[in-house]
Amino acid sequence: MARPPLTIALAQQSDQGTPPANLAACEAAIREAAARGATLVLLQELHNGAYFCQREDPACFELAEPIPGPTTAHFARLAAELGVVIVGSLFERRASGLYHNTAVVLDNDGRLAGIYRKMHIPDDPGYYEKFYFTPGDLGFEPIDTAVGRLGVLVCWDQWYPEAARLMALAGAELLLYPTAIGWDPSDDAEEQTRQLEAWIGIQRGHAIANALPVAVCNRIGVEPDPSGTTAGAQFWGHSFVCGPQGELLAQAQGDGPELLLAEIDRDRTETVRRLWPFLRDRRIDAYADLLRRYRD
């Protein structure tokens, strides 16, 4: 029996200056999304504040919170009230000295359906995440919700085909990526174009290789480096949703906040996989070297 289409909303937002203001902006976007018919809402990475990983500052650990905690409680009430599934992204304080970059999934009855701790942690100029985040230890496990089995990954995970594949092999029906990625403002236009196209292209590739819809919600706007040592980060937006053959279903612009809605055919994966049976033809007997760092 065919399932009805899934309407998903992506809340591409800029930093509002304070955690309460950011949380209020998230709530406003979720309420608008529900009013427009969305039953699944995806927020961007670390949506409660500015992207603090531009510098290494021990004081930033004060921004972390437990899970369950105040933000999950807030979203749980909202999810139950509106009957929507909410996917958020938090700085998790697991224990003293143990912190994660963690996605949370609130089901449409307000239940905390599950969490995913970011597995791939970058350490690059302006993205000093290894200082703050312990790599995830929950593996690549989809989370069951009222709208389907969600394969939730976070930002830097989006560059790794292994992560998308493992979510697909575990039965994910949709891949979701809360994201915070941007340019160094000093990059020239050609380099910016190359980076943006690579970012879109790799994730469309995950959709094609696994015959799964993919939704990516990115930040937008220029955020200064609090240390003043760099030009800051220019988050490029361009949040998008694509179908199981990589076809773009909806894409936001790169010039400001936007609530992006798209309709997903939840039964199309079966049709596509019958025509392009990549899972059938995988040579799992020949992939042992994937467990090696590099073949010297």
Residue 166: pLDDT above 80?
yes
Helix, coil or strand: residue 260:
strand
Asked about 26 being catalytic, the answer comes back as no
Mean pLDDT of 48-60: 97
pLDDT value, residue 122: 97
The active-site residue out of 118, 217, 223, 258 is 118
222-243 pLDDT, tens digit each: 999 988 888 899 999 999 999 9
Inter-axis angle of helices 70-82 and 19-35, to 10 degrees? 20
**118 flagged as catalytic:** yes
pLDDT at 219: 98
For residue 130 the two structure tokens come to: 């290894």
Q: Domain limits of the chain? A: 6-291
Choose the CATH number for 6-291 among 3.30.70.890, 1.20.1260.10, 3.60.110.10, 3.30.450.20.
3.60.110.10
Active site residue 45: yes
Where helices occur in 170-217 by DSSP H, the ranges are 189-210
- Look at residue 185 in the predicted model and tell me its pLDDT: 86
The C-alpha torsion from 149 through 8 and 236 to 134, rounded to 10°, is -30
- pLDDT (tens digit, 9 = 90+) per residue, 237-289? 999 999 999 999 999 999 999 999 999 999 999 999 999 999 999 999 999 99
Q: What is the mean pLDDT of residues 185-197?
A: 95
Query: What whole-number distance in Å separates Cα of residue 118 and Cα of residue 103?
Result: 8
Task: Check residue 228 and give its pLDDT.
Answer: 83
Catalytic residue among 45, 129, 173, 258: 45
The model's pTM:
0.97
Residue 1 has pLDDT above 80, yes or no: no
pLDDT in tens, 79-101: 999 999 999 999 999 999 999 99
Q: How far apart are CA 179 and CA 148, in angstroms?
A: 21
Q: Which of 26, 53, 60, 155 is catalytic?
A: 155
